Each structure stands twice: as C-alpha cells, then as structure tokens.
C-alpha cells in the first residue's frame, strides 16, 4: 500500500474498540464498511446502500471501493 493510499484510508475509515465492537467503519459514522461489501455481494447497489445509510457520503463509498480494488490488484500482481 502506498503512502498516498494509506493517507486516504486513514481519512476514510476509523476503528474504535468502543464502537461497533471495533469493526472498521466509515469515518464519522457507525456504519461498518463490511455492510457495503455485503450489500454489493448480494446484488445491491451503491444507491441502495446510501439510501439505507444516509450518514455515509457517496464519495466515501466510492473511495472505499476504489482503494479496495487497487489493493486487490496489488496483491494479484505482486
């Protein structure tokens, strides 16, 4: 993971052991990032996710997916 990716991730996700059992959540919310992945895996859309989780901004969801995709590709090609 590059320093730039790490910096983006640190502004995007927070982990607090006293909230949501320490699950990684979108910054400033109580919405676990896993919820977005689960919704997409089960055929949901980003719009449906955002409708159900209004505290998450579209930019947050899109940036998370972008960083996840970049990281996955790094693993495949290394």
Q: What does residue 69 show for φ and ψ, rounded to 5 degrees? A: -65, -45
pTM of the model: 0.86
pLDDT at 23: 95
Domain extent, residue 40, equals 3-77
Domain count, the chain: 1
pLDDT in tens, 23-76: 999 999 999 999 999 999 999 999 999 999 999 999 999 999 999 988 877 777
Whether 15 has a pLDDT exceeding 90, the answer reads: yes
What is the CATH number for 49? Answer: 1.10.10.10
């Amino acid at each position: 993971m590059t320093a730039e990716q790490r910096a983006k991730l640190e502004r995007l996700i927070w982990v607090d052991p006293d909230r949501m059992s320490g699950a990684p959540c979108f910054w400033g919310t109580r919405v676990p990032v896993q919820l977005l992945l689960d919704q997409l895996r089960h055929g949901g859309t980003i719009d449906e996710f955002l409708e159900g989780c209004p505290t998450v901004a579209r930019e947050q969801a899109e940036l998370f997916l972008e960083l996840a995709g970049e990281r996955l590709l790094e693993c495949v090609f290394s």
